[in-house]
Amino acid sequence: MIPVQGVEGQTVAVLGLGRSGLSAARALQAGGATAVCWDDNPAARASAEAQGYAIRDLSRAGAFDDVASLIVSPGIPHLYPEPNPVIAAAWEAGVPVDNDIGLFFRSFAAAGFDRFDSPPRVIAVTGSNGKSTTAALIHHLLQEAGRDSELAGNIGRGVLDIDMPGDGGAVVLELSSYQTDLARALTPDFAVFTNLSPDHLDRHGGMGGYFAAKRRLFAEGGPDRAIVGVDEIEGQYLANQLSEGPGDDRVIRVSAARKLSGPGWQVFARKGFLAEWRKGRQVASIDLRGIKGLPGAHNHQNACAAYAVLRCMGVAPKVIEQGLHSYGGLPHRSQLIAEVNGVQFVNDSKATNVDSALKALLAFDRIRWICGGLEKEGGLAALAPGLPHVAKAYVIGREAASFAMQLPGVEAEICTTMARAVKAAIADAQPGEVVLLAPAAASFDQYDNFEKRGEDFIACVRAELGQ
C-alpha cells in the first residue's frame, strides 16, 4: 500500500466505492486521514460499512462542512454530460476534487525513496487503443529483464494498493481519459501516448475534450521522456509541442505505419520489423513477425512503444527481444485461444470501437468475423479498409440486422447470439482462416462488459471443439 501523504488529521470524502474508491479510502486512513464514504448503490455502501468505513450521505446539506477534499472514482462524470450532484456540491463548498491517481502521484515519491540507490520509475500509458497491451507488455519485459515491476491503474491492482518496487524497479500505470482528466498531480518519469480515435465523446464534450484529457498526462508534470505515437495528427501535434527541436531525444516518436527519419530518437515498425534509430542511424532491429502474442500492425505499434520505454530504462535490445517472444498477450485483446485443423480462434472482445476492430481485421488475411453489439456514435464506415479481409461476418447483438446492413460487399449471417455465431463460423471455416471476435461495438446490449462477452466466446468455441 502507498499511504497518502499530507492528509494527517483531515477528513476526506470518497465518492464511489468500487475498486479505486475503497483503495483510496484505505490509503487515506493509512496516511492518518478519516475517510467518509458514499455511493449511490446501497449494496456498495453496506459492503464498505461492513469493512469499517464511515458512511456519510454527501448529497445532504452541510456534508462538506468539515471535508478537506473529495476523491472521486473514475466512472463518475465530473463535467460532461453534466456534473454529478455531489461533485457540484463540493465545487460550491470550495472543496478540492481529486482522484486516486492524483493521490498516488503526490504520495509515491515521499514513500521512502532515500533508501534506494536507483529510485523506482513511474511509467504511465494512455491513448485510445493499445494502452492495456502496452502497459502489460512493459511490465512483462521489465520482469523478464530482472527488474521489479508493479502494474496498476486501469489494469492490474488499484494504484494505491501496490507494493513499493525495489531498487531500480518501476510502477507501470495504464491511465484512461477518465483518470487523467481529473487528477490534480500527474508526474510520471516516462509517459506513453499510443494513439487517438473517437471514444467516450459524451464524457469529454467531444473529440477536443477527449484529446485534452489525454494531453494532461504530458502537460501537467512534464515527464523526463515522452513516447508518442505519431500515426495520427494528434500525436504529431503532441510530439511537436513537447520537443525543443529535431534532435530533442526527450521525445521518442513511434509509428507502425511508416519509416521515421531525422536526427532525433525514433522507433517504428515496417513490414513486421521493429527498428530503432538515433541521431540518423539505425541502432537495433527486431523481427516481430513470429511473435504470436503481438499479431498485426496495431500490436507492432504497442511493441515499439514498450521497446522505447525499456530502452529509456537502460535495457539492451537483445534482452527486450527475448522478452517479446515470451509475451503471451492479454485476455480479450488479440488473444489466441485455440488452433485446430489450421484454423485459429482469436478473442479480441476489447475491440469495442471501430478503430480497434479495424486494426484487428487488418492483422489477418482471411477472417470469419464475429461482430456486432451496441453500436457507438459515428457508424461503421471507417471499417472499409478491413472488409476485404473478411470471408464472412457472423453478426450478434439485438440490432444485428441493422449492423449487418452497414457492411457493404460482405456476406453476413444474422446470428444474434454468440453460440449461433461460433457454431456457424466453425462450420464454414477453412484451414488458414481465422475465427475472430472483434465486435466493433459495446457489449452492454447482451453482456455486463467486454470481458463477459470474451469469456462467452471462449466457452462457445471450446464447447463446439469439444475441448
**Binding site as annotated, residues for ATP:** 127-133
C-alpha cell at 98: 481529486
The CB density around residue 219, as the number of other CB atoms within 10 Å, is 13
C-alpha cell at 252: 521518442
- Per DSSP, the three-state class of 7 is coil
Q: Distance between CA atoms of 409 and 87, rounded to whole angstroms?
A: 49
Binding positions: 127-133
φ/ψ bin of 416: left (φ > 0), alpha (ψ from -120 to 50), beta (otherwise)? left
DSSP codes, 141-190: HHHHTT--EEEEESSSB-TTTPPPP-TT-EEEEE--HHHHHH-S----SE
Q: Distance between CA atoms of 382 and 401, rounded to whole angstroms?
A: 19
Cα 306 to the chain's mean position, in Å? 13
Closest CA to 443 of 429, 456, 430: 456
The CB density around residue 206, as the number of other CB atoms within 10 Å, is 12
Do the beta carbons of residue 315 and residue 143 sit within 8 Å?
Answer: no
Do the beta carbons of residue 149 and residue 139 sit within 8 Å?
Answer: yes
Pairing of strands 281-287, 273-278: antiparallel
DSSP codes, 392-421: EEEEESTTHHHHHTTSTT--EEEEESHHHH
Burial class of residue 391, CB neighbours in 10 A (0-12, 13-18, 19+): middle
C-alpha cell at 374: 451496441
- Amino acid found at 248: D
What separation in angstroms does the CA of 416 have from each of 134, 374, 424, 440? Answer: 32, 12, 12, 15
